[in-house]
Structure 1
């Protein structure tokens, strides 16, 4: 297997990866970008994005990622439809392996993102991709449920925060939790339980998502949520909960398995970077986007950190005499 060497490689093609590619290309670093398993990142699983600056009428998630991709290639980034299966960061140049070949690089930007944890019932993840009423981001999609009854699954701070946020739009929010008490902080619990728009379904799990066909103005139809099937974790009984939206808030999993044991992470698995930068503990290795951000997890913040990573990489490469 022949080994190709590049000055800079970027792993991942979400908002952070594409933005890093745009800035690196404009700096004449000629980056090589690996698309990964989910080309375009989590935004390709959403329909309309209304909170990304510059699109007053909103933009489809896939269309936004396509535009970013074209912008990156316009400035000279080379994007390959390959997935990195192995990374060796024990020495420089760093070594990456895909199913198609082997590559080395002087500098590396990790923008592999994070994946939402789903309920494991298949339908929830499928409907999230097709605009069927399932989401893992209240900030992104809450606006679409104005005046509707929806549900949130989870019992931690994130779930309670999202349930509270969604009361700005929904007429009623049912918080579904598999136990009889939350694991969220006490102030968050008090605030949530005091909200008249929030009802709690204790000791319940979602076992199925019931749908119906809704006609679109285009003449096409799409499957939308009409109800959830809930199972009682105490007596095993089942019931239906009519809702038009489901928000899954049981956490995200950062895509860091490639770097396990090679780069430090926090307790949740997110890559650690130096404060105020995207630098990891290894020289020439930078991390951007949701792979290192468990706080904001927005497309715009991911894009911003992608810009930071490219600038950090350019400065480091210049200092090392790698870049002109």
Structure 2
């Protein structure tokens, strides 16, 4: 990893995969970096119903498999590595990874989002043991699953509930206000008799006698919910941690996304769209960013 690359894509979710496939077909072999599993947040989706081409919908994991199959057929190569830092280096970008350092003329940041950890006493202490922010990480207890308490009231919380219910878990959703999810998702949750606690604000999470206890405040009263695990679905924030502070400050709020004010640097997918986390939008962003990166490279080469 010591030669200057044309385009480096950080993140192999829908946006990063789409960008890589476009560039590969355009004759530009991008460097695609991913620190974990391919597919990003789509891996946690129970059912994707609004992505064209799949009447009746498709499970997130199955859609990821199709994306990866198509990417492999085109010959796109993924490098599994952790990106520690991206910074400007003259007209290029210096990317520091766990495998070494590389220079790239253009960079597409498709790093998605990170979960917001609510300020609930005890939550951070129990992260990874009793509290999780990834639906795939929730352990099974025997063949029948366990009792999972989901904190949140948006689409993600209700989608997670359907996912976990389908895997045999007993699920309770705790929403501090009236849920903001799609009516369709709420109806499906109700049809499965998934418990919904509305108006209770989680304040404390503790582990006691092998169980997980969530104490909530509801108009001066304490509402106690007892289960085995807690799954956080309390919102997400753009994951721009890989960008050096100086570079992050130069980006600000892009005026012409996915293009930024930094020549050769592009943002694509959920890292850019905030609450508009849709697979179709991410794919479009990735392709758009790839087209702009291609144009940028050609301009630098005098084409």
Equivalent of 1:162, from 181, 186, 191?
A: 181
- Alpha-carbon RMSD across the aligned residues, in angstroms, is 4.1
Equivalent of 1:240, from 220, 225, 229?
A: 225
Partner residue, 1:291: 271
1:120-135 matches, cutoff 5 A: 120=124, 121=126, 122=128, 123-125=130-132, 128-129=135-136, 134=150
Tell whether 2:76 aligns with 1:93: no
In structure 2, C-alpha distance between the alignment counterparts of 1:236 and 1:137, rounded to whole Å: 20
1:252-263 matches, cutoff 5 A: 252-263=236-247
In structure 1, C-alpha distance between the alignment counterparts of 2:34 and 2:73, rounded to whole Å: 16
What is the TM-score normalised by the length of structure 2? 0.73
Per-residue deviation, residues 240-275 of structure 1 (Å, max 9, x unmatched): 368xx9874422132211214233469xxx963223
In structure 1, C-alpha distance between the alignment counterparts of 2:134 and 2:108, rounded to whole Å: 32
Q: Secondary structure at the match of 2:132?
A: helix
User: Deviation at 1:91?
Assistant: 2.2
In structure 2, C-alpha distance between the alignment counterparts of 1:241 and 1:165, rounded to whole Å: 27
Structure 2 gaps of 5+ residues are 118-122, 139-144, 164-169
In structure 2, C-alpha distance between the alignment counterparts of 1:163 and 1:69, rounded to whole Å: 29
User: Deviation at 1:130?
Assistant: 5.5
In structure 2, C-alpha distance between the alignment counterparts of 1:164 and 1:125, rounded to whole Å: 26
In structure 1, C-alpha distance between the alignment counterparts of 2:33 and 2:60, rounded to whole Å: 19
Partner residue, 1:82: 81
In structure 2, C-alpha distance between the alignment counterparts of 1:260 and 1:239, rounded to whole Å: 43
Q: Is the 8 A contact 2:15 2:110 kept in 1?
A: yes
Q: Is the 8 A contact 1:16 1:303 kept in 2?
A: yes
Partner residue, 2:299: 319
Q: Secondary structure at the match of 2:20?
A: helix
Per-residue deviation, residues 45-80 of structure 1 (Å, max 9, x unmatched): 345444433233443433322322232233243311
Q: Is the 8 A contact 1:36 1:82 kept in 2?
A: yes
In structure 2, C-alpha distance between the alignment counterparts of 1:30 and 1:209, rounded to whole Å: 53
Q: Secondary structure at the match of 1:63?
A: helix
Structure 1 gaps of 5+ residues are 176-198, 212-226
Tell whether 2:155 aligns with 1:139: yes
Partner residue, 1:41: 40
Q: Secondary structure at the match of 1:39?
A: coil
User: Deviation at 1:34?
Assistant: 0.3
Partner residue, 2:261: 281
